Amino acid sequence: MSRMPWPDYFMKIAHVVAERSTCLRRKVGAVAVRDKRILATGYNGAPTNMRHCEEVGCLRDQLKVPSGERHELCRALHAEQNVITQCAVHGVSLQGAEIYCTTQPCLICAKLLINCQVRAIWYADSYPDQLTEQFLEESGIEHGQLPYPGHD
């Protein structure tokens, strides 16, 4: 019996983290890792002490905002934004970290992760955001889609 490879292990954890999401449209999880150690996790949901979409409904649905557009029109923070916030609150640098996400980051999250000087961004599912790919290519950050075993 062989051990699960590290990338599979961290991606599987990202999928478990996504189960905490309170988003009604898409549940996303992210894990920040450096030297095979988890630095922080995050999922998409409302800011601390605010009501979640599960309680008040989806603002994006109410405003008929299509997926991939107008990210600012949402109660929730993205999973990657919550990873960055957790690191900031606890004084943990993301410089040189790898990020494992259940979904490819949007452009806003990609720009934030670029400025955090992460080393790599791995994701299980793609997302319709061509600019993200262009920015990650230009930044030199290693990135790409990883297969998630047992995930269709």
Q: Catalytic: which of 19, 54, 80, 137?
A: 80
CA separation for the pair 75, 135 (Å, rounded): 26
Q: Is 87 annotated as a binding residue?
A: no
Instruction: Tally the C-alpha atoms within 13 A of residue 50's C-alpha that lie toward its C-beta.
Output: 12
- Angstrom distance (rounded) from CA 137 to CA 126: 15
Q: What are the residues facing 78 on neighbouring strands?
A: none
72 catalytically annotated: no
Find out whether 106 is annotated in a ligand binding site. Answer: yes
**Phi, psi for residue 76 in degrees, rounded to 5:** -90, 155
Residue 23 in marked binding region? no
Q: Strand, coil or helix: what is 103?
A: strand
**What distance in Å separates the CA atoms of residue 105 and residue 86, rounded to the nearest whole number?**
17
Residues that constitute the known binding site for Zn(2+): 78, 106, 109
- For the annotated catalytic residues, the residue numbers are 80
Residues that constitute the known binding site: 78, 106, 109
